[in-house]
A and B are shown apart, each in its own frame.
Chain A
Amino acid sequence: MASEDSPLWMLLDEGQQMLASTAAQFLSKSAPVGRLRELPRAPGADGFSRALWAEMAELGWLGLQIPEAHGGLGLGFFDLAIVLEASGQTLMPEPFVSTLLLGAQALLLGGTDAQRARYLPGVADGSRLLALAYDERGMRGDLSRLRASATREADGFTLRGVKPHALDAHVADAIVVAARVEPGDAIGLFIVPRDAAGLAIEREQRMDLLNAATVRLDAVRVGEDAVVGPLETSEALLSAVLDRARIGLSAQMLGAMERAFEMTVAYLKERVQFGVPIGSFQALQHRAARLFIEIALARSSVLAAARAVDDRPAEVPRLAALAKAKCGEAFWQVAAEAIQMHGGIGMTAEHDIGFYFKRAQAAEVMFGDGATQRRRWAEACGY
């Protein structure tokens, strides 16, 4: 049979299994979900731990997929997805999505040699953080409604616009900005250093405790060397980057739903009412069993999508939509049921389960909600 027809390989090899268990162990210990209560309130807070980020760089996790020439390990996206899943278990707010997915993937897929050499080694060693500012208020991911502008000048471009909710833009050393090139209609990507004149960054406070900022571009001047990917293809580049972000975020969602489910099953065995553990009530047993099924299906979708990035690029758009939609639904359902099955204690700020519910809602709407993914899927399938 043609290899294109055989199913994507979804298993972890021995090294990858080791990576998965090491990462899960290390992160459960050094990044327990409870620290989300403290992080944002610490003085001068970044909202995440730079020390932990540096430690993960030491372990090689930040450069897993970055080529050796740029200081990484040169492994696949699948390997990165393994670490992302582990990071999702404790809802880590560290800048995985912004730096490793959005920023680094833009440079890996479309950056010039000079741009890669300038930024990627710093990503791998943890010293540089990146962000992507593309969406705008009311745009909801629809690029035809993007309004930020890049006016062509003799020696480069002038950028103007407002980009809310850019993940980790408050700490990024450089921000990749999507803007419409004038004159013309193409959408370009431009990498802007954080100290550029006219760039203002306002920190936001989110309920799900991810970190983000509003990026204001008030006539920011950049040179030709700031263009990421040839202008003619940057729209396709942006879609490819977002697809990888969808898959990476889905891996985090998978880790999160698995952990929330584990906590819930443990509670069902421990909490006693009417003289028996509540997990002996069939009404709850069946709902828990259904969640188990949904998680298994979501897991297959994530593993296949992550593998496709390495092995079958043509299938990435379709499988990214699949993974994001399945994980969105399953994570939300698991988190909502988790609160219900915890009863009153699940509603308290003191209990960790609520963090999962907030993150489930956030993750569902980021990079396109379920309905958006289904539209993209239908397009990819030709109907």
Chain B
Amino acid sequence: MSEAPPLTEFRDEIRAWLEANAPASLRGTSPCGPFDGYWGGKKHPPVDPDVLRWRDLCLERGLTAPTWPKAYGGAGLDRDHAVVFYEELRAMGLPRPVVGFGFAMIGPTLLEFGNEAQKREHLPRICAGEIRWCQGYSEPNAGSDLANVQMRAVRDGDHFVVDGQKVWTSHADKSDWIFCLVRTDPTAKKQRGISFLLVDMDTPGVTPREIELISGSSPFCETFFEGVRVPLGNVVGEVNSGWTVAKALLGHERSMIGQSIGRAPGSGQRELVAKARHHLGAAEGPLPDPLLRDAIAHNGMDEEAFQLTLARLAQTREAGASPGSESSILKIAATEMKQRRYTLGMRIAGEEGLGWTDDGFDAQDVDFTRGWLRSRANTIEGGSSEIQLNIIAKRVLGLPDGK
């Protein structure tokens, strides 16, 4: 890590490298968020060759996972250098070379809790975008109350045999591997009997089935496990202490969701203003509808206050202090702000926002409407708003538990 050049030099170097190498067709196409890019995996539909060329270019330098150790395919950079890299990508509108739950969730978790064999097996393949991962946490009776997972894993020689059901498994049908919480000791108290297990989706007995969302897309599945044999070596951490691993991973998940919403400053407001200009037919000057203008300003202010808070926490970290209690507000503030922005966009679009396909509607409006529908999930997934409020009330404000 110490070999990395000082930040300004590094920035110049990266910029020059990008200018010289990044595929022209990808420039200016992406907000560079944690969901915008190549998800990889063996089941990925055919993809633009430039996307693969871009992945290869970065992979060669370890830049698909800039902060991971070189031994596992990363670039061994520290956080500040990685931030510079992403800032430069964003400045050129380039997507991240590889995205997904492998890179954002299970990778960092394996770095912390995985054994050497697990790291060597999985991390390089995540860096290359070769394997796509999905998350098998939720079950029909274990949502917010995640520690109530019931899917059984029973030991049989050097394997576990897994039976049960996961639900809301995002992209299970497109994934190659799944990380699961399974119950390995049904007699222990809730959190105690859970193990963290890596399962190859191609193992006989694993069956994902699509679930359609209100937005019309089917990004997630219910996933059934019947007599699925998984090698003992696929347990991350100790058997029956998977809960610790599970919680660490949830931290990575929240930060991914937070990042996906912390976009370029002011971009949400610009989008709304453009939408209002389009739908109200007011190309310039003050918007003719003062109530709408007020609502957009309200949302724009919320956006700026949120961006400033993100920046303040980053500065606190930069200054070597711990950001403390305020980071716990980010998930809820970000997701609710995003929902209010979508809701306002729908108000601006009026009846033009009622399209389901582009028969009779603008494709852009239809996309927005589907995005609006999808945004309702933001306050449920990754720990619902109510759960976040519980955390703030108890851990930050120190309010007592109920009887």
Contacts and interface: CB of A to CB of B under 8 A. Distances in A.
Interface of A: 1, 7-11, 265, 268-269, 275-277, 279-282, 284-286, 288-290, 292-293, 296-301, 303-304, 321-322, 325-326, 371, 374-375, 377-379, 381-383
Interface in B243-298: 265-266, 269, 273, 276-277, 286-287, 293-294, 296-298
Contacts of A7: 265, 307-308, 311-312, 314-315
B300 interface: yes
A72 to B, nearest CB: 28
Interface in B315-362: 315-316, 319, 326, 329, 332-333
B157 interface: no
Assign chain B's interface to a size class: 35 or more
A11 B315 contact: yes
A88 to B, nearest CB: 19
Q: Which 4 A-B pairs have the closest CB atoms?
A: A7-B311, A285-B393, A374-B297, A300-B308
A277 B400 contact: yes
A277 B403 CA distance: 10
A9 B315 contact: yes
A81 to B, nearest CB: 15
Interface of B is mostly: helix
B399 A280 contact: yes
A296 B403 CA distance: 30
A261 to B, nearest CB: 9
A378 B297 contact: yes
A293 B401 contact: no
B385 to A, nearest CB: 9
Nearest to A286: B389
Contact of A300 (B276, B312, B397, B402): B312
- Pick from A280, A298, A378 the residue with the most CB of B within 10 Å: A378
B312 A11 contact: yes
A28 B95 CA distance: 52
A333 B316 CA distance: 27
B241 interface: no
Interface in B377-403: 386, 388-390, 392-394, 396-403
A374 B390 contact: no
A162 to B, nearest CB: 30
B286 A379 contact: yes
A378 B311 contact: no
Interface of B: 87, 91, 265-266, 269, 273, 276-277, 286-287, 293-294, 296-298, 300-302, 304-309, 311-312, 314-316, 319, 326, 329, 332-333, 386, 388-390, 392-394, 396-403
Given A322-B305, A378-B297, A296 B397 contact: no
Contacts of B390: 282, 285-286, 289
B400 A292 contact: no
- Pick from A303, A381, A383 the residue with the most CB of B within 10 Å: A383
B286 A378 contact: yes
B393 A289 contact: yes
Given A280-B402, A285-B390, A297 B296 contact: no
Contacts of B304: 301, 322
- Pick from A7, A280, A293, A301 the residue with the most CB of B within 10 Å: A293
Nearest to A318: B304
B305 A280 contact: no
B399 A375 contact: no
B389 A10 contact: no
Nearest to A376: B297
Contact of A265 (B305, B312, B397): B397
A381 B287 CA distance: 12
A295 to B, nearest CB: 10
A379 B300 CA distance: 12
Given A7-B315, A276-B403, 11 more contacts: A10-B308, A265-B399, A280-B399, A285-B390, A285-B394, A289-B388, A293-B329, A303-B308, A374-B293, A378-B294, A383-B276
Contacts of B308: 7-8, 10, 297, 300-301, 303-304
Contact of B389 (A285, A326, A375): A285
Contacts of A325: 301
Nearest to B391: A289
A314 to B, nearest CB: 15
